Chains A and B, each alone.
Chain A
């Protein structure tokens, strides 16, 4: 099963909004509501920022929001801040030959 497709990089200026897409198939993103997103700083463990497509864990800024349409999920970060500069990964429960799949990751640069 192939990884979910994310753009390799996105960038934005402080205060702006950016959106990261995550495209899968009907066997993963399109087939359930178990899409999650993670933020990862270099050398650190990933941090859950979105679960079950749209939900934020306690303590995660409401500047992070997410949605899904068909086989594509999206993460939006509004009011960009320097501290948002990190790698972002989508993931999904999957059926078939695997149980879960991650996207290739997107490097966010805050200009």
Chain B
């Protein structure tokens, strides 16, 4: 079935790095832009980053720009989020989501979400 599965979360000290993965199955992965959205404990959703279907375009939230890098490997149906210089405020559950329309680069709506992977930044 159509699904996204995140992995790579864990506990890390401030200033360290972590790489999250979002593995897709059940659909033509290379046709869809993928977004990362995070949720701090007990808080609301925060948009983090997007990568276009072909990997040629990306955009980041101001809070992570310069520290996080989004990339994708369409041959492996996987999107990555490289997170460097992590801060305690980066803690939370990180979700990847599929933009519902193909060959687009926008934020119409995310129709498929993963279950999330938890990141804790603490000394």
State whether the Cβ of B80 lies closer than 8 Å to any Cβ in chain A: no
B50 touches which one: A99, A103, A105 (CB < 8 A)? A99
B47 contacts A100, CB within 8 Å? yes
| Cα–Cα distance between A89 and B37 once the two chains are bound (Å) | 13
| Cα–Cα distance between A98 and B35 once the two chains are bound (Å) | 13
Query: Which of the candidate stretches A14-22, A44-52, A67-75, A77-85 sits at the interface with the other chain?
Result: A44-52
Within 8 A of B (CB), among A13-54: 34, 36, 38, 40, 45-48, 50-52
Query: In the complex, what residues of A have CB within 8 A of residue B100's CB?
Result: 48, 51, 57
A46 touches which one: B59, B62, B113 (CB < 8 A)? B113
State whether the Cβ of A3 lies closer than 8 Å to any Cβ in chain B: yes
Which bracket fits the contact residues of B? 20 to 34
| Cα–Cα distance between A1 and B65 once the two chains are bound (Å) | 13
| Cα–Cα distance between A51 and B101 once the two chains are bound (Å) | 11
Number of interface residues of A (CB under 8 A): 28
| Cα–Cα distance between A92 and B113 once the two chains are bound (Å) | 17
Q: A45-B95, A48-B100 are in contact. Are A98 and B110 (CB under 8 A)?
A: no
A51 contacts B44, CB within 8 Å? no
Write the nearest CB–CB distance from B56 to chain A, whole angstroms.
Answer: 15
State whether the Cβ of A101 lies closer than 8 Å to any Cβ in chain B: yes
State whether the Cβ of B82 lies closer than 8 Å to any Cβ in chain A: no
B interface residues, Cβ below 8 angstroms from A? 35, 37, 44-47, 50, 59-62, 95, 97, 100, 106-111, 113-116
